[in-house]
Amino acid sequence: MGTLVGGPGKAMPRGYASSTASGFAMPKTLKPRPKPEDMRPLFLYWADVTEACLAQIASVETKAEVRQLLKEHMKVDQPDELRAEVLTDMHYHNYSFCVSRSFPPEKTSTLLSIMKIVLEDAVRLRLDPEDAFGLFQEWLLKHAVERPPRSVGIFSFDDVTSIVEYAANSFFRHYRLYMYAFTTKCDVFLRVGEPLGGAMPPLRDPVPVTLDCEVDPATQPELAHIFRPSEQETAEAEMRRIRSKQEPEDEKAALIKQRVEEGVKKLMEQFEEKLRAQDEKFQAMLSS
C-alpha cells in the first residue's frame, strides 16, 4: 500500500491528499479578518504623522497649505466631499491647539492620532457622547503616566488638563454634528399611486365658511413678512439677549473649567492606584 489512486490510470504518492472528494472541491478555511483595534499600535506617537511630517507642516506659511499637508499625512480619503472637509477641519484645529500650547512633535503626533481614533470608533460603534468621552480619557491617560509597558508619559498633568478642556469645548461640544456628518443615511421615498386608475374623482359640494374658521393672520407663514420685526428691533433684542447671558456664561465657563480640573485629577489618582495595585500583585507573585 505505497500509493493511493488519484484517477483512472493515475497514482499519487502516499501522504499526498487530493483537494477534491467525489468531484467536489474542498472549501478553504478562511482566517477571520482582524478588527480595526487589533491592527493599531500600542502607543500612538508617530502612528500617523512623523517628526519629519510635522517639520514639513511647520515650514509652510498659509492655512490652505497646512490643511493640505494634514489631509495627506492623516490619510483623509473620504469619498464624500463634505466628510473630507469636516475631517480636515478637525485635524487642523487639533494641530492649531498643539501649536498654541507649544507642544513638541511627539505630543502633537500623539494628540492628532488620539482624536482620529476617537472619531473613527465613535462612528463605527455608534457611541453615545459619554462612552466616546470615556474612550478619549482612556487613550489620553495611556499616554500620561510613565509605566511601561502599560502606559507612557508623553503628556504632563497640565497637558492633560488643557487637552480635556479643549476637547470638551470643541469636539465633544459638536459631537452630535460629527455623528450626523459621518453616519451613513438611507433616504426612503414613498409614492402614492393614482386612485381609480387616474380617473378624476367626483366633485364635492363646497363647505360653507364660518367664524370658527377665522385665524390670526400673524400666525400664518404666508403673511409672516408683514409682521416681521424691523432690523433695528431685531438688533435691540439681540443686544438685550447678549447682555443678559454674558455674566452667566462667564460663571458657567469658570465652573466647567473647575469641574474639568477636578475630574482629571480624580482620574489620574484612580489610574495611579490601579497601577500601584497591579505592581503590588506582580511583586507578590514574584516573591512567592
| Residue 183 pLDDT > 90 | no
Q: Among 4-8, 73-77, 140-144, 240-244, whose mean pLDDT is lowest?
A: 4-8
Q: Considering the domain boundaries, does residue 162 fall inside one? A: yes
Q: How far apart are CA 99 and CA 227, in angstroms?
A: 50
268 inside domain:
no
Burial class (CB within 10 angstroms; exposed 0-12, middle 13-18, buried 19+) of 45: buried
The average confidence (pLDDT) of the chain is: 80
In a domain, 122, yes or no: yes
Look at the pTM and tell me if it is higher than 0.75. Answer: no
Per-residue pLDDT of 139-162, as tens digits, reads 999 999 988 888 999 999 999 999
For residue 36, what pLDDT band results from cuts at 50, 70 and 90?
low
**Pair 114, 107: CB distance under 8 Å:** no
- What number is the average pLDDT over the span 65-94? 91
Could you tell me if residue 52 is inside a domain?
A: yes
Q: How far apart are CA 62 and CA 281, in angstroms?
A: 54
In a domain? residue 151:
yes
- Write out the residue range of the structural domain in which residue 91 sits: 47-182
Is the pLDDT at 95 greater than 50? The verdict is yes
> What's the pLDDT tens digit per position in 213-239?
788 887 888 877 777 777 777 778 887
Asked if residue 98 belongs to a domain, the reply is yes
222 belongs to a structural domain: no
Q: Given this model, what pLDDT does residue 197 score?
A: 58
pLDDT at 44 exceeding the cut of 70: yes
- Is 124 within a domain? yes
